[in-house]
Amino acid sequence: MKRDLSPMTLVTLAIAGAGLAASTWFLSFVHIPVLASSGCGVLPAIWAHGPRIVSFLVPAVLGFAVSLWAEKRFSRGFRDDRWSEGDLASIRRLLTRPFWIWSGLILVIVSLLFVITDKHMKGGSLIYLLTLPSQTVGRLRQVIAPPAPRNTVLDWGSVQPIQSQHWGAPRT
């Protein structure tokens, strides 16, 4: 028996998953020991840096997977009209709060300050991870936004050619 999750649960899972994936940026500033290895090559290097690899990959992969899964289920449910307007009203209120814009800006500013002040630039290459929660909220906002009215495009088949009585005549 497949249990249908509420839209609020799916939105919460999508944002929490993105937050979990974004948390890997903060792990770049945590000292994670390198294990002793005997030998050179790829396998000993993987063994020596195993705790680092696991501590970065597990939250990143798990966060991405949960976020994308929940976002896809939410957009499919919204597209199929599974939920009433009452269910979606609280989600619209949640996603349109200015908190999401400010939190995204604050996280980017914090990351820039860390990169500027850190002499080894540990987290510089992972700065994009901090924008994941804001990007997820933006995509969810696009899903629930009413469709934009189509612009009336000029029908080029009904346009008459431009004609002028003065083409080629000298200026006076």
pLDDT recorded at residue 139: 92
Q: What percent of the chain has pLDDT over 70?
A: 85
Query: What DSSP string describes 100-120?
Result: HHHHHHHHHHHHHHHHHH-TT
pLDDT recorded at residue 83: 87
Mean pLDDT, residues 14-36: 83
Residue 133 near residue 39 (C-beta atoms within 8 A): no
CB neighbours of 42 closer than 8 A, spacing ≥ 6?
none
pLDDT recorded at residue 26: 78
Q: In this structure, what token pair is assigned to residue 62?
A: 């798990």
SS3 content of the chain, % helix, strand, coil (to 5): 65, 0, 35
Check pLDDT > 90 for residue 23. Answer: no
82: helix, coil or strand?
coil
Crossing angle of the two packed helices 7-22 and 132-144, in degrees rounded to 10: 160
105 versus 124: which is more confidently predicted?
105
d(CA 139, CA 142): 5
Tens digit of each residue's pLDDT (9 = 90 or more) over 61-108: 999 999 999 999 999 999 988 888 888 888 989 888 888 888 888 877
Check pLDDT > 80 for residue 126. Answer: no
Check pLDDT > 50 for residue 1. Answer: no
